[in-house]
Amino acid sequence: MALTKEQKEDIVSNLEHSIEKQKSIVFVGFDGVDVKEITQFRELLKDGGSEMKVAKKSLMKIALKNKDIEFEPQELEGEVAMVFGYEDEIAPSKLSYDFSKKNEKIKILGGFLENKFYEINDVIKLAQLPNKEQLLGMLVGTLNAPTTNLVGVLSGNTRKLVYALSQIRDKKA
């Protein structure tokens, strides 16, 4: 059944609203994916602060163009969904990539980050980066390393002195 003009306008408006809120967009292909798998994918995305929206490519194009993003979704093969990341820029690509490893029917087709289009390989590279918390932890560890090493070196001399004194005490006893 064909969509009415009002339904199409609602879909475009809904997509535009999501485009305004997003920090990044990932296009995923979902040919042959059943409802159960899509539901699992949507729940995973929701838990990660992301959301998937499905629309006709022509409506996607209109919504993107209305938000000053030049892109042709028609160039993407098969059925296409947009995954919007609202909290973290990397989350939609990471979640989509992780799910696509479990379900080969889900395919990453590309994405937008800061209104710049990235090809499939670039989105996968982004997905393989550590998440924000891991990067912050690595940074803290790196910043803390010199202090930890200094404490170790300074306590080493004290430890050697105590060891030498205990050896002298043992020889006298």
Q: What local confidence, expressed as pLDDT, does residue 88 receive?
A: 83
Q: What is the pLDDT of residues 155-173, one digit of tens each?
A: 777 888 788 888 888 877 6
Other beta carbons within 10 angstroms of residue 125's beta carbon come to 13
By the 10 Å C-beta count (0-12 exposed, 13-18 middle, 19+ buried), 127 is classed as buried
In the structure encoding, which two tokens stand for residue 104, read together? 């080969």
What is the rounded average pLDDT of the residues 57-82? 89
What is the rounded average pLDDT of the residues 119-128? 90
Q: What is the pLDDT of residues 76-110, one digit of tens each?
A: 888 899 999 988 888 899 999 999 998 888 999 99
What is the rounded average pLDDT of the residues 118-130? 89
In the structure encoding, which two tokens stand for residue 150, read together? 């200094």
Give residue for tokens 């973290």: 88
